[in-house]
């Protein structure tokens, strides 16, 4: 099945109140295994709302959302949480790591919550991930002592800990200087090539969007453009 499939997805906030407002209007979108896709659009256009729906943090008010073939309407909240834990990794602009914990401990967190592996296996798995993101020498450093770029690498390693089918990244380089941003972006790209994980990356940076395989553009809650990067280059 497709990793992500939205059919006529709408989202309203304040349903049943006088302030009810629809911010996504009939979104159709399919993301296939291994796609590396940018999500762009002006502030307030609905990108975060889309990411929250696809990330199973919120539910559509109309339409259908499938994640790895599961019709999410048929799943209760507990089942959604399990599906999210299994299938989706998150990378945020503010990394949401725990500063007082070491890099390895931060990465083991999703594994600890999952409780499917013994301690030694978790530690090995965390070290393998840190090695992949180039941070093995920092495995026992407190995350609070690492640079912004290093912290974001830890966040990427953590997002990949459960070998998810999909990684959702919201402005993953938003806090970084150009050089660190390039490094973090290169790493996302590399992880995508190695693991065939699907990536959906919200970015304001046209330079980074151009380096994705596909760009989806939302304006006022509708997809207004969707295509391979080459087509966007011709328009730009
Ligand atoms: P973007 O991520 O593209 O900046 P958002 O998805 O955050 O856009 O927001 C889309 C629209 O939905 C905006 O008009 C925003 O004000 C509104 N919105 C977002 N979250 C909420 C909420 N929890 N309640 C009411 N309106 C919201
Ligand atoms: P961004 O543009 O970076 O996505 P926003 O400033 O639009 O961030 O939104 C930040 C948070 O505030 C989001 O979690 C969103 O759900 C919430 N939010 C945005 N607009 C509204 C709104 N009009 N009412 C309530 N919550 C909102």
What integer best gives the mean pLDDT of the chain?
A: 93
State residue 233's pLDDT score: 66
Q: Which of 78, 141, 83 lies closest to 107 in space, CA to CA?
A: 141
Ligand 1 centre distance from Cα of residue 129 (Å) = 34
Q: Is the CB of 219 under 6 A from ligand 1?
A: no
Rounded distance, CA 151 to CA 96, Å?
10
Rounded distance, CA 147 to CA 224, Å?
37
Beta strand pairing status for 4-13 and 62-67?
antiparallel
Q: What is the pLDDT of residues 19-39, one digit of tens each?
A: 999 999 999 999 999 999 999
Q: 223 and 217 in contact (C-beta within 8 Å)?
A: yes
Q: Is the CB of 13 under 6 A from ligand 1?
A: yes
For ligand 1, mutation pick of 19, 23, 209 (most atoms within 8 Å of CB): 23
Q: What is the pLDDT of residues 83-127, one digit of tens each?
A: 999 999 999 887 789 999 999 999 988 777 777 778 888 889 899
- 236, pLDDT greater than 80: no
Q: 225 and 217 in contact (C-beta within 8 Å)?
A: yes
Which of residues 47 and 114 earns the better pLDDT score? 47
Beta strand pairing status for 88-91 and 62-67?
unpaired
Strand-pairing partners, residue 219, are 222
CB neighbourhood size of 77 (10 A): 9
Which of residues 180 and 76 earns the better pLDDT score? 76
What percent of the chain has pLDDT above 70? 98
Report the nearest-CA residue for atom 22 of ligand 2: 13
Distances (CA, A) of 134 to 94, 126, 151: 20, 12, 12
State residue 231's pLDDT score: 78
């Amino acid at each position: 099945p497709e990793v992500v499939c939205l059919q006529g997805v709408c989202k309203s906030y304040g349903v049943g109140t006088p302030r009810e407002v629809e911010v996504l209007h009939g979104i159709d979108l399919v993301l296939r295994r291994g796609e590396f896709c940018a999500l762009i659009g002006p502030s307030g256009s609905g990108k975060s709302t889309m990411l929250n729906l696809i990330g199973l943090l919120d539910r559509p008010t109309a339409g259908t959302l499938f994640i790895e073939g599961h019709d999410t309407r048929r799943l209760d909240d507990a089942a959604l949480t399990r599906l999210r834990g299994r299938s989706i990794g998150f990378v945020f602009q503010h990394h949401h790591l725990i500063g007082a914990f070491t890099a390895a401990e931060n990465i083991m967190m999703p594994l600890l919550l999952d409780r499917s592996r013994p301690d030694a296996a978790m530690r090995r798995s965390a070290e393998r991930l840190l090695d992949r993101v180039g941070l093995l020498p920092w495995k026992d450093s407190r995350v609070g002592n690492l640079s912004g770029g290093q912290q974001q690498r830890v966040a990427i390693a953590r997002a990949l800990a459960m070998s998810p089918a999909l990684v959702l990244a919201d402005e993953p380089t938003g806090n970084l200087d150009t050089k660190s941003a390039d490094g973090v972006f290169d790493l996302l790209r590399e992880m995508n090539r190695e693991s065939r994980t699907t990536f959906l990356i919200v970015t304001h940076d046209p330079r980074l969007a151009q380096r994705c395989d596909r760009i989806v553009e939302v304006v006022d809650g509708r997809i207004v453009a969707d295509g391979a990067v080459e087509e966007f280059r011709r328009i730009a």
